[in-house]
Amino acid sequence: MSRRWRWRVAGLLLVVAVSPWLSLIVLAPLAAIGDCTITEAGVNPCRILGRDIGAAMTHLGLFAAWGVLLTGPLALALAALWGAAELALWLLRRRGVIPPRSPRP
């Protein structure tokens, strides 16, 4: 794998793993500004700049709360697969099955 590809995979894993936390970082200040109540039970009115964004805030809160249960194991599984592929490539290069990478000019 090229270095560029490795950074892309690492970036994807990072985005997947932290996306629920990012939604929480957006949700908390908006809820404080609008004096909103965010619950999983249902949509509550939340007015910010004259618009009711209660439904969007509820969905964002649900993703922040329950998204970790999806993205955490998914990111962990992707990282394990990526590590297994890297280990397999390293072992194959070490045994001479795959030629070593040539340095970039």
Mind listing the pLDDT tens digit for each residue in 43-66?
A: 999 999 999 999 999 999 999 888
pLDDT at 4: 79
b/e 38-69 (16+ beta carbons within 10 angstroms → b): beeeeeeebebeeeebbeebbebbebbeebbe
Tokens for 67, please give them.
Answer: 């998204």
* Residue whose C-alpha is closest to residue 75's, from 22, 21, 9: 9
Mean pLDDT over 84-94 rounds to 89
* Euclidean distance between CA atoms 46 and 58, whole angstroms: 10
pTM of the model: 0.63
Mind listing the pLDDT tens digit for each residue in 11-20?
A: 888 888 888 8
Domain boundaries along the sequence of the chain: 3-94
CB-CB contact of 28 with 65 (8 Å): no
pLDDT at 44: 92
